[in-house]
Amino acid sequence: MSLGYRIAGYEFSPTEVRDLLVAWLALGVAFAIFFAGGGPNIATLIFVPQLLVVSLLTAGVAFLLHEVAHKVVAVHYGQLAEFRADYSMLFLAIMSALIGFIFAAPGAVHHRGYLNEREHGHIAIAGPVTNLLLAAVFLPAYLGGTALSVDLLATLGRFGIIINLFLAAFNLVPYGPLDGKTVKRWSTPVWLGTFLLSALLTVGSMLSIGLSFRI
């Protein structure tokens, strides 16, 4: 009898669910502080609670589903895979936001079992591809909010688009523990294509829609 949770056909242990929720909440708070302008403006979160909601639904969801995508593909290849939060890095994310910048590395999906380079590459690229798809999901919210002059909806879409595009591009940098290194090792053309697409879309979205909070 399983003691975990079965969500969309995938098993999540109680520890994994806890770590995913803690990471989601911590990153939501960290990005909300960062969006507000850092520690000196933290009172903004009291007077503008919508900022925390937008942060949880954009930055929080972007990181959460990025990691879940790694797990889903790893399980598809027969791996035992679970997300584990890095609590020291989550604390660092909040502290860095307080001083005006943000560094977020919430944890990672750990898996074990035999994999070839192609399978490793597929697991690695699943996260950035999920962020690209999420950016497309947020596009109608931005367009609808802009067309209807609903600032909160437009802001939700704006943040969702740019944060997901940036996460895709950043994680595809072929350095250290980032996904790009594993993807490039598997297929340089695939890595180059997805990295350039993500980077160009990130720059284009920043120039065209910007990143500002309005209600």
Asked if 106 and 26 sit in the same domain, the reply is: yes
Residue ending a domain, choose from 90, 114, 138: 114
- 173-188 residue pLDDT tens: 998 889 999 999 999 9
- 137-164 residue pLDDT tens: 999 999 999 999 898 999 999 999 999 9
Exposure class string for 163-189: b at 16+ Cβ within 10 A, else e: bbbbbbbbbbebeeebbbebbbebbee
Q: How far apart are CA 209 and CA 141, in angstroms?
A: 13
Asked if 95 and 120 sit in the same domain, the reply is: no
Exposure class string for 7-35: b at 16+ Cβ within 10 A, else e: eeeebbeeebeebbeebbebbbbbbbbbb
- pLDDT category of residue 2 using cuts at 50, 70 and 90: low
Q: Reply yes or no on whether the pLDDT at 90 is more than 90.
A: yes
Model pTM above 0.85: yes
Question: Among all residues, which ones are annotated catalytic?
Answer: 67
Structural domain for 127, as ranges:
116-215
Asked if 164 and 88 sit in the same domain, the reply is: no
| CA 69 centroid distance within chain | 10
Higher pLDDT, 91 or 213: 91
Asked if 92 and 82 sit in the same domain, the reply is: yes
